[in-house]
Amino acid sequence: AIVESVPGSCTGDVSVQPSAEECARSLLSGTSMPLPQVLSLAWLLPREDAHKATQADHGGAFYAGAFLRGGLYGLRSTCSSHPFSIQCFTRLLRERFPNQVFTSFGIFFNVLTSMHRDSRNAAFPNLLLALSSFTGGEVWQEEPGGQVLRSVQGTLMEGKLLDVAASPQVLQAHLRFHCTEPWSGDRVVLVGFSVDCTGLQNFQICQLLDLGFVLVQTPTEKGVLSEPHQSFPPLPPAITSGAPTSQAEGTGQVARSSPAEGTGQVAHSSPAEGAGQVAHSFQVPCPGAQVKAGPGARGQAPGLEVQDVSSEEDAEGWRPLQRGRLCSEAELEHAKRVLRDFVVGELPDPRKAGHLEVSPFDPCKLDFLRGKLAELLPDPGLALERPEGQPFWLHLLHQSLVLLGDPDAAILVDGDESFVEGVPLGDEQPIPRTPQVFRKRVNFKSLDVTDFEPDMANYSSAELSSDQLEKQFRKDELAGLMHPTTEAAVEAEYGPGRLLVAAMGAVSKPSGEVRPLHDGTHGVGLNSKIRVLDRLEVPGPSEAVEMTALGRETKEAVFAISVDIAQAHRRVRVRRADWPKLACRASTSSRTIWINRVGTFGIASAAYWWARLFGLVGRWVLRLMLTSFNLQMVYVDDLHLMTAGAQKFINLWIILAAYEVVRDRAHEEVDICGTACKMPALVHLSLLFLRAQLREGRRLVPAPLKEPQSRQLFRTDAKCETGRENVEADDITNMRFERFS
């Protein structure tokens, strides 16, 4: 223990203090970071001398995080000597400055900075938080139109005072001059700032992330850093220059920096009470945001916009190790541990090839897992209620997505037009925009214009398959997707003129079944009235190339799997008022009217609503996995997954378990597809031989023997004269040649 005077300590002027790391461990075990305890911890930390640019006779600073000096990148030694203490202060910065980037921080003890501008700072604001109580000590910042004048290089300039003692503040030191005002009392200020991390090694970046720093550029798993000129997704609303955290907005992109709280013109990387500039703002910290791929992005022209719905429609939006860097502690810990424990318990060896034809997860065990997940939510009882006619546990999904900050979670349960109650077709009023998920639709396709006919005859393909259509309709009735009725019953319930009986077509499947085709265009004219204002996009070759390239960057053997979602469009419930518009017949001559209650293949808005619903499910799974390397891409009803890294197989099963736990297995079929290839006979035999050799321990190569000296094997008489005989032939074997001439 250390006995010393601790200014500002809540335990008195003189106290017996444990080491800084012991105090930090105790603080980290709590649910919050009280400032008095954090201040006590700060006084226990080692301090460097005040920078020469300051005007103080005393004072010092504690630095942690990344540094950049003259092109040399690295981490400060405190990252190894005081990891628990650093985690306390990074946690405090994340709590007080949510969604802000900082690669380093400094704690300044009674340091007075001179007038300077950190012209080489990163384009991110520095985060100022007072740890002690003091009077005065504001930070003057250059501000056109400000009421406070200060001399800057011999010229009076307008500015304003940032009251650090009153509330957390943000200072833009990248473009603006600033300095510290005099104060009374002990002035201890925590300053978060950013430096360029593009030159750091992957293990150094991982160490920063483990310590709690918030980065923008992160490495791909066992790969290289993101391209220095790549544009990253805009950050959510944060804090503006010189405003308290409750009134702030804006952040930006990483640039070269060298911050310092009192370092003159910043020739080196000493942190400062200033950095950054305001750049683009956005509304949510989740990977559902519209982004722009910068120049050089694979498969995209410079400046081409790409969209990330759940990494299903774009593999470029967020690299795997970028995900979750702006998440809160609750978001980072939400549900993944429960899913991992479940998978480990159910699959002791996730690498084992089980040749599975059905899911390995027992339905009863999935119910138990669903209950464990519900316990993490605000209303566990409601979370375990599955809406009638819905294959997904929408209340569970909604509450979880709200905790994760999803921008479109409300559409699941809120209002009369939701996935719980049923969504509108969009023929009476345009379906409203969802700008945080979809881009704006600018082109509307012109459909065939035909005479209005509310009761259409089926096409010949349907008439020839009427028995199979009837069988399919009966099957859908049992699943709650359709119900039979009559024209009189529809008119009595919905009123006259509401019934639209569309022409049916049928397409044969390889299995011998038929796929019903509901023609919502000709005759009934329903599709021509539907207006979807969001642009629906699906992945193409460029997204597939990007997905492959990201997998190659990991330097790992990746594992991929494809999942086919049966009857994807019919997983969306349509609002009851629109049911009579989705009527059809199995046969033209039949008097039975079949009413669709769900999305129907052939209706213009069906694909949009399915993409929006599965986008929510996909984002939920993606947010649970966060930085675990996985890429997911969906083309309508085909889900493609790719994992890499040492935990790729267990991560794959966690993903599949997450998809299973939010759906009702009785109402949805998911076929896991794979590729089978016949191995050449010689390759098969070679592998069998290698297996046998390895099993018997024959995997050691004998050491090479010393090459023996050469010896003479034969010698003959060179004369070869007639009448002469070589009688020494027997001596050749005995290596005796001395009698040869």
- Judge whether 352 lies within some domain: no
Percent with pLDDT over 90 in the chain: 36
Has residue 128 got a pLDDT over 90? yes
Has residue 219 got a pLDDT over 50? no
The pLDDT of residue 277: 32
Confidence of residue 396 (pLDDT cuts 50, 70, 90): very high
The pLDDT of residue 238: 33
Confidence of residue 361 (pLDDT cuts 50, 70, 90): confident
CA 448-454-459 angle, to 5 degrees, is: 65
DSSP-based three-state secondary structure for 36:
helix
- Per-residue DSSP letters for 168-216? -EEE-TTTS-EEEPPEES--EEEEEE----TTS-HHHHHHHHHHT-B-S
Burial class (CB in 10 A: 0-12, 13-18, 19+), 362: exposed
Mean pLDDT over residues 379-398, rounded? 89
The pLDDT of residue 163: 94
Residue with tokens 């759940």: 310
Composition of the chain by helix, strand, coil, percent to 5: 30, 20, 55
Instruction: Give the pairing of strands 305-307 and 514-519.
Output: unpaired
Mean pLDDT of the chain: 77
- Judge whether 595 lies within some domain: no
Mean pLDDT over residues 604-625, rounded? 91
Percent with pLDDT over 70 in the chain: 72
Distance of CA 498 to the CA centre of its chain: 45
Rounded CA-CA distance 488/485 in Å is 8
497 φψ region: left (φ > 0), alpha (ψ -120 to 50), beta (else) = left
- Judge whether 198 lies within some domain: yes
- Per-residue DSSP letters for 109-141? ES--PPSB--TTS-SS-EEEEE-S--EE--EEE
Rounded CA-CA distance 148/145 in Å is 9
Q: Over the stretch 168-210, which tens digit does the pLDDT of each residue have?
A: 999 987 778 889 999 999 999 999 998 888 778 888 898 999 9
Has residue 47 got a pLDDT over 50? yes
Has residue 515 got a pLDDT over 60? yes
Mean pLDDT over residues 520-540, rounded? 91
The pLDDT of residue 406: 87
Confidence of residue 303 (pLDDT cuts 50, 70, 90): very low
Has residue 362 got a pLDDT over 90? no
The pLDDT of residue 203: 84
The pLDDT of residue 552: 84
Single-letter amino acid code for the residue at 698 = R
The pLDDT of residue 519: 93
- Judge whether 130 lies within some domain: yes
The pLDDT of residue 512: 78
Residue with tokens 């444990």: 18
Single-letter amino acid code for the residue at 676 = A
- Judge whether 559 lies within some domain: no
Confidence of residue 736 (pLDDT cuts 50, 70, 90): low
Give pTM, 2 decimals: 0.53
Of 518, 522, 532, 498, the C-alpha closest to 426 is 532
Mean pLDDT over residues 31-55, rounded? 82
**Cα dist from 200 to 259, 271, 321, whole Å:** 17, 18, 15
The residue with greater pLDDT, 341 or 396, is: 396
Rounded CA-CA distance 682/664 in Å is 46
Rounded CA-CA distance 257/217 in Å is 14
Q: Which domain holds residue 228?
A: 2-282
Mean pLDDT over residues 38-56, rounded? 78
Q: Among 60-69, 103-112, 215-224, 289-298, where is mean pLDDT lowest?
A: 289-298
Single-letter amino acid code for the residue at 528 = S
Has residue 293 got a pLDDT over 50? no
- Per-residue DSSP letters for 660-686? HHTB-GGG--EEEE----PPPHHHHHH
**What total of structural domains would you count in the chain?**
1
Residue 583, beta-bridge partner list: 501, 595
Residue with tokens 């970028």: 322
Q: For residues 39 and 131, is the Cβ–Cβ distance under 8 A? A: yes
Strand ranges, E, within 471-558: 482-485, 503-508, 514-519, 534-535
Rounded CA-CA distance 672/669 in Å is 10
- Three-state SS sequence of 558-592: CEEEEEEECCHHHHCEECHHHHHHHEECCCCCCCC
Tokens encoding 688: 């069998």
- Judge whether 263 lies within some domain: yes
Rounded CA-CA distance 518/171 in Å is 60
Q: For residues 214 and 101, is the Cβ–Cβ distance under 8 A? A: yes
Has residue 226 got a pLDDT over 80? no
Tokens encoding 671: 């076929």
Confidence of residue 314 (pLDDT cuts 50, 70, 90): very low
The DSSP 8-state label assigned to residue 532 in this structure reads B
Rounded CA-CA distance 282/288 in Å is 11
DSSP-based three-state secondary structure for 439:
strand
Q: For residues 73 and 199, is the Cβ–Cβ distance under 8 A? A: yes
Q: For residues 535 and 439, is the Cβ–Cβ distance under 8 A? A: yes
Q: For residues 624 and 551, is the Cβ–Cβ distance under 8 A? A: no
Has residue 274 got a pLDDT over 70? no
Has residue 577 got a pLDDT over 90? yes
Rounded CA-CA distance 303/458 in Å is 48
Has residue 715 got a pLDDT over 70? no
Residue 61, beta-bridge partner list: 48, 108
Rounded CA-CA distance 210/642 in Å is 25
Measured in degrees and rounded to the nearest 5, phi and psi for residue 4 equal: -160, 170
Mean pLDDT over residues 233-241, rounded? 34
Has residue 352 got a pLDDT over 80? no
Rounded CA-CA distance 114/173 in Å is 13
Has residue 592 got a pLDDT over 50? yes
Instruction: Give the pairing of strands 630-635 and 638-643.
Output: antiparallel
Confidence of residue 48 (pLDDT cuts 50, 70, 90): confident
The residue with greater pLDDT, 666 or 614, is: 614
- Judge whether 250 lies within some domain: yes
The pLDDT of residue 716: 62
Confidence of residue 320 (pLDDT cuts 50, 70, 90): low
The pLDDT of residue 74: 87
Instruction: Give the pairing of strands 534-535 and 305-307.
Output: unpaired
- Judge whether 599 lies within some domain: no
